[in-house]
Amino acid sequence: MELGTIIVTGQSKGKSSSSPRGNGNVPRSLSGSSPIVYWDVLGQSVLQRTIRSLRNSGISLISVLNNEDHSGKSQVEPWEKAVLDYARTGVERILLISLGAYSEIDFGRLVRFHHDSSCPVTNVSDDQGPLGISVIDANAIGEGNMLRSRLAALSSCSSNYEYAGYSNRLETPADYRRLALHGLAGLCQLTPVGKQIAPGIWLGDGARVNKSARILGPAYVGTGSRVRAGVFVAGGSSVERQCDVDCGTVIESSSILPKTYLGPGLHVTQSLVNGSRLIHLGRNLEVELADTNLIGLAGNRTSRRILETLGSLFTFGPEPGPAVSTPSRAPASLDYVRSQSFFD
CATH number of the domain to which 63 belongs:
3.90.550.10
Q: What is the pLDDT of residue 333?
A: 31
200 and 317 co-located in one domain: no
Q: Is 278 a domain residue?
A: yes
14 and 52 co-located in one domain: yes
Q: Is pLDDT above 90 for 238?
A: yes
216 and 309 co-located in one domain: no
CA 83 to chain centre: 27
Whether the CA torsion 174, 175, 181, 185 is positive or negative: it is: positive
Q: Is pLDDT above 50 for 2?
A: yes
162 and 245 co-located in one domain: no
Q: Is 65 a domain residue?
A: yes
Band of residue 84 on the pLDDT scale cut at 50, 70, 90 = confident
- Which CATH number characterizes residue 258's domain? 2.160.10.10
Mean pLDDT to the nearest integer, 165-180: 96
Q: What residues contact 175, with CB distance under 8 A and at least 6 apart?
A: 36, 168, 169
Band of residue 32 on the pLDDT scale cut at 50, 70, 90 = low
Give the Cβ contact number of residue 200 at 10 Å: 17
Give the Cβ contact number of residue 272 at 10 Å: 25
Q: What is the pLDDT of residue 291?
A: 86
Mean pLDDT to the nearest integer, 78-99: 90
Mean pLDDT to the nearest integer, 185-200: 96
> Percent of the chain at pLDDT above 90?
63
pLDDT tens for each residue of 197-208: 999 999 999 999
CA–CA separation, 240 and 154 (whole Å): 43
Which phi-psi region, left, alpha or beta, contains residue 128 (left: φ > 0; alpha: ψ -120 to 50)? alpha
Q: Is pLDDT above 80 for 31?
A: no
Q: Is pLDDT above 60 for 171?
A: yes
Q: Is 181 a domain residue?
A: no
Q: What is the pLDDT of residue 332?
A: 31
**Is the CB of residue 260 less than 8 Å from the CB of residue 245?**
no
Q: Is pLDDT above 70 for 336?
A: no
Q: Which one, of 221, 260, 189, 257, lies nearest residue 34 by Cα?
A: 257
pTM assigned to the model:
0.81
**Cα-based distances in Å from 172 to 23, 53, 65, 307:** 13, 24, 21, 41
310 and 249 co-located in one domain: no
Give the Cβ contact number of residue 217 at 10 Å: 18
Tell me which DSSP letter residue 265 carries. T
27 and 137 co-located in one domain: yes
Q: What is the pLDDT of residue 327?
A: 36
Q: Is 184 a domain residue?
A: no
Q: What is the pLDDT of residue 141?
A: 79
201 and 292 co-located in one domain: yes
Q: What is the pLDDT of residue 41?
A: 98
Q: Is 175 a domain residue?
A: no
Three-state DSSP at 315 gives coil
Q: Is pLDDT above 50 for 311?
A: no
Of 38-42, 222-226, 289-293, the poorest mean pLDDT is in 289-293
Tell me which DSSP letter residue 332 carries. -
Of 63-72, 85-94, 206-215, the poorest mean pLDDT is in 63-72
Q: Which one, of 158, 166, 94, 93, lies nearest residue 128 by Cα?
A: 166
165 and 207 co-located in one domain: no
Q: Is pLDDT above 80 for 163?
A: yes
Average pLDDT of the chain to the nearest whole number? 82
Q: Which one is predicted more confidently, 148 or 56?
A: 56
Q: What is the pLDDT of residue 70?
A: 60
Q: Is pLDDT above 50 for 308?
A: no
Q: What is the pLDDT of residue 13?
A: 53
Q: What is the pLDDT of residue 144?
A: 58
Q: Is 344 a domain residue?
A: no
Q: Which one, of 142, 148, 13, lies nearest residue 69 by Cα?
A: 13
pLDDT tens for each residue of 135-153: 999 888 766 566 766 777 6
46 and 80 co-located in one domain: yes
Q: Is pLDDT above 90 for 194?
A: yes
**Is the CB of residue 84 less than 8 Å from the CB of residue 65?**
no
SS3 content of the chain, % helix, strand, coil (to 5): 25, 30, 45
Tell me which DSSP letter residue 67 carries. G
Concatenating the DSSP letter of every residue in 163-181 gives --S-EEE-SSHHHHHHHHH
Q: What is the pLDDT of residue 66?
A: 86
Band of residue 341 on the pLDDT scale cut at 50, 70, 90 = very low
Three-state DSSP at 39 gives coil
Q: Which one is predicted more confidently, 75 or 257?
A: 257
114 and 246 co-located in one domain: no
**Cα-based distances in Å from 333 to 165, 299, 322, 337, 339:** 54, 27, 18, 7, 10
Q: Is 185 a domain residue?
A: no
> Percent of the chain at pLDDT above 70?
75
Q: Is 183 a domain residue?
A: no
**Does an H or E element contain 109, and which?**
helix 107-117
Q: What is the dihedral of CA 116, 126, 167, 11, to 10 degrees?
A: 100
E strand spans, 77-194: 93-98, 101-103, 121-126, 129-137, 159-162, 167-169
Structurally, the chain folds into a number of domains equal to 3
Q: What is the pLDDT of residue 44?
A: 97
149 and 264 co-located in one domain: no
Give the Cβ contact number of residue 147 at 10 Å: 21
Please, what is the end-to-end C-alpha distance for the chain in angstroms? Answer: 72
Q: Is pLDDT above 90 for 256?
A: yes
Residue 227: phi and psi, rounded to 5, are -115, 115
CA–CA separation, 133 and 120 (whole Å): 14
| Residue-number span of the structural domain to which 197 is assigned | 192-297
Give the Cβ contact number of residue 237 at 10 Å: 27
314 and 245 co-located in one domain: no
